[in-house]
Amino acid sequence: MKTMKITGQRGLVEAVLGLALLLGVFQSAYSIHFEVKDPLNSTCISADLFINFTVEYKVADKQEKVSFSLPNTASTDASSTCGKENATAPLLVIKFGNSHSLSINFTKLPLHYQVDELVFTYNLSDKELFPGATENGTKEVSSKNTAITAATNYSYKCVNPHLVAMGNVNVTFYNVSLEAYLNNRTVSLNATSCSEDTQPTSRPTTPSTTATPTTAPITPKTPDMGDYSVNTSSGAACILAKMGLQLNVTYIKKDDKEVSYEFNIDPKHVAVNGTCSNSSAVLILSSDIVYLLFNFTLNATASTFYLGQVFVNATVPDSKEPRFIVDSDKLSYLKTTTHKSYKCKSKQTLEIARNFSIDTYNLQIQAFDIDENKFGPAVECSEDQNGMLVPIVVGACLAGLVLIVLVAYLIGRKRSHAGYQTI
Ligand SMILES: *[C@@H]1O[C@H](CO)[C@@H](O)[C@H](O)[C@H]1NC(C)=O
Ligand SMILES: *[C@@H]1O[C@H](CO)[C@@H](O)[C@H](O)[C@H]1NC(C)=O
Ligand SMILES: *[C@@H]1O[C@H](CO)[C@@H](O)[C@H](O)[C@H]1NC(C)=O
Ligand SMILES: *[C@@H]1O[C@H](CO)[C@@H](O)[C@H](O)[C@H]1NC(C)=O
Ligand SMILES: *[C@@H]1O[C@H](CO)[C@@H](O)[C@H](O)[C@H]1NC(C)=O
Ligand SMILES: *[C@@H]1O[C@H](CO)[C@@H](O)[C@H](O)[C@H]1NC(C)=O
Ligand SMILES: *[C@@H]1O[C@H](CO)[C@@H](O)[C@H](O)[C@H]1NC(C)=O
Ligand SMILES: *[C@@H]1O[C@H](CO)[C@@H](O)[C@H](O)[C@H]1NC(C)=O
Ligand SMILES: *[C@@H]1O[C@H](CO)[C@@H](O)[C@H](O)[C@H]1NC(C)=O
């Protein structure tokens, strides 16, 4: 009777919680909370997360697979640290059970931060978790390809499962809200979402399936147009841009084959950042898979601006290197007189490096002196002017044809008149 009552109560509790979950009210209450503080008790890392693990291990001479979730008894290990500015990086170490731990290493880049490395340490002697394990003692696996990144002062959010594969261990995060470099702030309401949330169709399959199939990258459709601006602290724009962007990266895959991979910048899913100074204006578009920086330079003596530098840091599929990084700072593209804007409706390819190019579509861009936060008079690219050539030539041909017909008609009339006269 007693057990009946308990299960009955649990059923009710589950129904209530289920309803709450359905309403999305208590979703965060389900995650396990971790915090890292510095010696002065100011919080530098705050994390709410759920993690499922799948570990393959040896039993006799067979491979067994076990799946378990991070228990809610998991806690922040004392080895966690806020690090020291410019010296050591912040680190969150989560410990649970009999000496199992997950350490999450952060690094900061100019305008975003990321999980640099994930290390999972597990104790095969824990026969409750790893029944029948042949080996005992602790093992360690790690990954530097976590694709967990957010813009500075933004939190990282990922509701859908986000898989980090580490050989025989799969770590799947879900319902995650995470922020590092807090400096005692509360977690930001602004969030960078993971690609699993922003592109639900490309969600990975269940984490229990081991190898994810590597489909050959296909050329994506024409990119969507984005409107981007970077403002000075006084609110005046120093960069105004309207453009569709497609990136073409060439890299070495895990199987040592070189491939080209094209992907679009989706304006709806990038954070826009930047800086304005007297002689350089920087536009940064970032998401969890790409960080793209355009640096415009002002030549004050010539009264021109141009694209002088492009930096990219991207995650590309099945790559041998954890990240695709290119930094080209000797460029001279889109050169335009100040107070004017550069316009190119045609697709234009900017060769940034041997292994990296950017295709722009419907581009209009202006940097530095921008009057009334609006584009100045447009300077058209040569591609568009060549495009104008065709209608001009066709028009001229038509005009010529009309003229010939007219002349032929007049001559014909004159001849027939002459004919009548002779009769
Ligand atoms: C930090 O917080 C802990 C626990 O709340 C407390 O024991 C400790 O004295 C605090 N340290 C400082 C420097 O405030
Ligand atoms: C691993 O687990 C076993 C059994 O639970 C325990 O006795 C041992 O102390 C653990 N190893 C470490 C390094 O703590
Ligand atoms: C570890 O493994 C060895 C042999 O494989 C065994 O003799 C020993 O008892 C094991 N230790 C523990 C703590 O399970
Ligand atoms: C994680 O594991 C729990 C319990 O094993 C399961 O109910 C849940 O669906 C899993 N979630 C994901 C995202 O794999
Ligand atoms: C810059 O200012 C314009 C107009 O004042 C505004 O619409 C735009 O959102 C601002 N851009 C940023 C990145 O704050
Ligand atoms: C991408 O770049 C590679 C290498 O430069 C080139 O061979 C390929 O044609 C480019 N793809 C597209 C769609 O332009
Ligand atoms: C930038 O411009 C401001 C205002 O025009 C001026 O006060 C400042 O000295 C300039 N800085 C540099 C490094 O030229
Ligand atoms: C932009 O380029 C200028 C040189 O033209 C350089 O001084 C500056 O550091 C660059 N900015 C960034 C963010 O790389
Ligand atoms: C600026 O333009 C002038 C004239 O075209 C040129 O001589 C000079 O080298 C340019 N300066 C820079 C820093 O590019």
Name, in order, each residue with C-beta under 8 angstroms of 333's C-beta and a sequence gap of 6 or more: 306, 307, 350
Sequence-ordered list of residues with C-beta below 8 angstroms from that of 71, at least 6 positions apart, any chain: 96, 97
Mean local confidence (pLDDT), 323-327: 89
**Among the listed ranges 72-76, 80-84, 145-149, which one has the minimum average pLDDT value?**
145-149
The percent of residues above 70 in pLDDT, for the chain, comes to 81
Nearest ligand 1 atom, CA 40: 13
pLDDT at 207 over 60: no
- At 196 the pLDDT is 79
What are the pocket residues of ligand 2 if the criterion is a CB atom closer than 6 Å to any ligand atom? 98-99, 123, 125-126, 138
Q: Supply 377's token pair.
A: 């008079």
Ligand 3 centre to CA of 52 (Å) is 27
Distance 371 CA to ligand 5 centre (A): 14
112/133 Cα distance (integer angstroms):
42
Q: How far is the CA of 99 from the centre of ligand 2 (A)?
A: 6
Which one of 295, 331, 333 would you pick to mutate in the ligand 8 pocket, going by the greatest count of ligand atoms within 8 A of its CB? Answer: 295
Do 226-380 and 8-193 have the same topology in CATH? yes
Pairwise CA distance, residues 336 & 125, whole Å: 67
Can you tell me whether residue 321 is helix, strand or coil? coil
pLDDT tens-digit profile of 171-202? 999 999 999 999 878 888 888 888 777 654 43
Residue 407, classed as helix, strand or coil, is helix
Residue nearest to atom 4 of ligand 9 (CA): 302
27 has pLDDT over 70: no
In this structure, how many other beta carbons lie within 10 angstroms of the beta carbon of residue 279?
A: 12
Class at the top of the CATH hierarchy for domain 226-380: mainly beta
**pLDDT tier, 415 (very low <50, low <70, confident <90, very high otherwise):** low
Position 252 confidence tier, pLDDT thresholds 50, 70, 90: confident
The span from the CA of 151 to the CA of 300, in Å, is 32
Q: Which residues, 6 or more positions from 291, have their beta carbon under 8 angstroms from its beta carbon?
A: 109, 111, 112, 149, 284, 285, 311, 312, 313, 314
Higher pLDDT, 208 or 288: 288
Give the H/E segment covering residue 30: helix 27-30
Which of 204-208, 229-233, 315-319, 355-359 has the least mean pLDDT?
204-208
Alpha-carbon dihedral sign for residues 120, 155, 111, 322: positive
Higher pLDDT: 146 or 399? It is 146
CB atoms within 10 A of CB 406: 10
Most confident of the following: 214-228, 235-249, 385-399: 235-249
| Interval between CA 277 and ligand 8 midpoint (Å) | 10
Residue 231 Cα, ligand 5 centroid: separation in angstroms? Answer: 6
CA–centroid distance, residue 360 to ligand 8 (Å): 22
**Nearest CA to 47 among 117, 94, 100?**
94
Q: Higher pLDDT residue, 206 or 144?
A: 144
Instruction: Check if CATH label 2.40.160.110 holds for domain 8-193.
Output: yes
Residue 133: pLDDT band (50, 70, 90) is: very high
Averaged pLDDT, 400-405:
71
Domain ranges of the chain: 8-193, 226-380
pLDDT at 399: 73
Radius of gyration of the chain (CA): 30
Pick 398 or 243 by higher pLDDT: 243
Among residues 144, 239, 175, the alpha carbon closest in space to that of 28 is found at 175
Going by alpha carbons, the residue nearest to atom 3 of ligand 8 is: 280
Contacts of 199 (CB under 8 A, 6+ apart): 269
Residue 395 banded pLDDT, cuts 50, 70, 90: low
pLDDT at 162 over 60: yes
- On whether the pTM is more than 0.85, the answer is no
The H-or-E segment that residue 382 falls in is helix 382-422
- The pLDDT assigned to 87 comes to 84
Q: Look at residue 288 in the predicted model and tell me its pLDDT.
A: 84
Strand-pair partners of 360 = 245, 348
Outline where DSSP puts E strands in 267-375: 271-276, 280-286, 290-299, 304-314, 324-328, 333-337, 341-344, 348-353, 356-367
Q: Ligand 3 pocket test: pick from 124, 129, 136 the residue with the most ligand atoms within 8 Å of its Cβ.
A: 136
Cα 270 from Cα 281, distance rounded (Å):
19
pLDDT (0 to 100) of residue 216: 43
- Is the CB–ligand 1 distance for residue 41 below 6 Å? yes
- pLDDT on residue 342: 97
Measured by CA distance, the residue closest to atom 12 of ligand 1 is: 40
Residues 163-176 have a mean pLDDT of 94
